[in-house]
Amino acid sequence: MERRTFLYKGLIIGAVGTFAGCGIVGGGFKRFEPVGDPPKYDILLKGEKRVAIVPRYNSFELQNVSREIAQRVNSSLDANVQNKKLRIVEQSRVEAWLDNANNDFDTFLEVGRDSSINADIVIGFDIIRDPQSPSSIQKKCFVQVQAFDTATGRLLASETLAIVEPPPLPIPIDGTFQIEQQFNTYFIGMVARQISSLFHHTMPRRRYGISKPFSS
């Protein structure tokens, strides 16, 4: 009996030593620390927030591209922002609002404040195609990102991502090619990552470079 009791005590001591090495015994569970480089704008990291992502574009041909970017930004923020109290408005709600408004609105605040969206923060972005190149997107596209507090109307973030380098050949916007099929992986994926990484921690290897400043 004494030998068995001794063995039990030995097992307990060994287990305690193992957990102590993991930071559980003595200091309690380790406090979670954010991983990676901090975002340029930390507006989503603290407190209970309901956030809407709103795309805008200056040509009908960019509608599907912009909405796909918005959906990817939505998913990326939901997965990567280190705030358990953050809530992202379903992108389908935003798209329904845009459809009902025929994609016609004056400010991103107008969308975020609507009762069907009811966002605390609205993150909007414009995909702009250079009017001097009406037949293609090639080195003439940039992205303007803005975030607003819907209660006060205060501008919380503003960033111009400048030119987003497209594929090496121009892609006509005349119905001959579907934009999504031509540079879906390159364009949509990169723009979505650049937008979302403004608001969540990123690992150094996942930084997304911005190309040359926009010029006409």
Residue 1 has pLDDT above 80, yes or no: no
Tell me how crowded residue 176 is: count the other CB atoms within 10 A of its CB: 7
Using the CB atoms, write b or e for 144-162: b if 16+ within 10 Å.
bbbbbbbeeeeebbebebb
pLDDT digits (tens, 9 = 90+) for 23-66: 333 333 333 355 678 899 999 999 999 999 999 987 777 788 88
What are 171's two structure tokens? 């892609």
Comparing 98 with 16, the larger pLDDT belongs to 98
The structure tokens listed for 76 are 């990326």
Query: Residue 128: what pLDDT?
Result: 77
**Domains by residue range for the chain, with CATH:** 1-31 (no CATH), 34-206 (3.40.50)
Q: Is 191 exposed, middle or buried (0-12, 13-18, 19+ CB in 10 A)?
A: buried
Let me know if 141 is exposed, middle or buried by CB neighbors in 10 A (0-12, 13-18, 19+): buried
Q: What is the pTM of this model?
A: 0.71
Best CA proximity match to 188, nearest among 122, 132, 143: 143
pLDDT score recorded for residue 28 = 36
> CA 33, 34, 37, 41 torsion: positive or negative?
negative
Predicted local confidence at residue 119, as pLDDT: 97
Reported as a pLDDT band with limits 50, 70 and 90, residue 142 is: confident
Question: Does pLDDT of 138 surpass 60?
Answer: no
Instruction: Report the range of poorest mean pLDDT among 74-78, 108-112, 163-167.
Output: 163-167
Mean pLDDT score, 151-178: 71
Residue carrying the six token digits 């979302």: 196
Residue 7 confidence (pLDDT) = 41
Locate all alpha helices (DSSP H) within the chain, ordered by sequence. 2-21, 63-80, 91-100, 108-113, 179-183, 189-196
CB atoms within 10 A of CB 46: 11
Which tops the pLDDT comparison, 161 or 208? 161
Burial of 59 (0-12, 13-18, 19+ CB in 10 A): middle
Give the pLDDT band (50/70/90) at residue 131: low
pLDDT at 187: 74
